[in-house]
Amino acid sequence: MYEKIIVLYPELADFNFASGVIVLQNDSDGKGDYIAKWEHPTLAKPTDEELA
Amino acid sequence: MSSIVISGDTSGAITLSAPAVAGTNTVTLPAATGTVQVSGNMPAFSVYAGSNSAGQTSATFAKVALNTETFDTANAFDATTNYRFQPTVAGYYQINASIYITAASNLSAYQLTFYKNGASYTAPNYSTTVLAGIILSGSVLIYLNGSTDYLELYAYAATVAGTWVITAGSNTTMSGSLVRSA
């Protein structure tokens, strides 16, 4: 998930993903990583198609 | 008389008993209203990660799979599926945790985070010192309503390159107990 987001938005390479603005999460339930929260002020949340 | 039995209005009873030990002792109840806390209504638990959780993606919060119980007095910790503490007694709980995380290509940022009801509640620490591994520790005094509220432990890490690991053992643990009823 993270790698795909960075390819889509290279400017997020130095972004602090621990800040809570964008939260990538894995609930250890076998379903893998997902975007739990996306509140970036200028970049749109990637679509499922963009992350596929 | 060695005991006093107080019957409920419709069912149940409470028995107050003196021990069969010589001597006189005094129990003083405070001039306050509240629920008396005894061991039977004070959940306590201690769990740890019994296996490594490898392959964690950089810049991602990962729930710590605390799948081994040392003790769980009220069966309030789910160490099988959701790895969460969900007590049936409302009150304020003191929770302590630590997480041992490592990365083959070094960690660049890391944080221990308590989640309440599926969302970040508090993150007692955050650091960006680059290193190969670290044990993060944190604690929180938190209110849980005794029905729907639950608590989980998450680790966050970013790496210089590649994935990171939540390492099993006594360094990746969470414990807690009720310190005051609601």
Rounded CA separation B83/B89 (Å):
18
- Number of structural domains, chain B? 1
Over the stretch B97-129, which tens digit does the pLDDT of each residue have? 999 999 999 999 999 999 999 999 999 889 999
CB B79 within 8 A of CB B71: no
The ipTM value here is 0.93
Report the CATH number at residue B158.
Answer: 2.60.120.40
B21 assigned to some structural domain: no
- Which chain A residue's Cα is nearest to B84? A27
Cβ–Cβ below 8 Å for B63 and A24? no
Inform me whether the C-beta atom of residue B168 falls under 8 Å from chain A C-beta atoms.
no
- Mutation site, A5, A21, A26, interface B, largest B CB count within 10 A: A26
Inform me whether the C-beta atom of residue B65 falls under 8 Å from chain A C-beta atoms.
yes
The domain of B137 spans: 44-181
C-alpha triplet B106, A12, A2: angle, nearest 5°: 60
B48 assigned to some structural domain: yes
Over the stretch A2-48, which tens digit does the pLDDT of each residue have? 999 999 999 999 899 999 999 999 999 999 999 999 999 999 999 99
B9 assigned to some structural domain: no
pLDDT tens digits in sequence order for chain B, 182 residues long = 588 999 999 999 999 998 888 999 898 999 999 888 888 889 999 999 999 999 999 999 999 999 999 999 999 999 999 999 999 999 999 999 999 999 999 999 999 999 999 999 999 889 999 999 999 999 999 999 999 999 999 999 999 999 999 999 999 999 999 999 98
Rounded CA separation B14/B5 (Å):
6
List all residues 6 or more positions away from B24 whose beta carbon is below 8 Å from its beta carbon. Answer: none
Distance between first and last Cα of chain B: 34
B154 assigned to some structural domain: yes
pLDDT of residue B1: 58
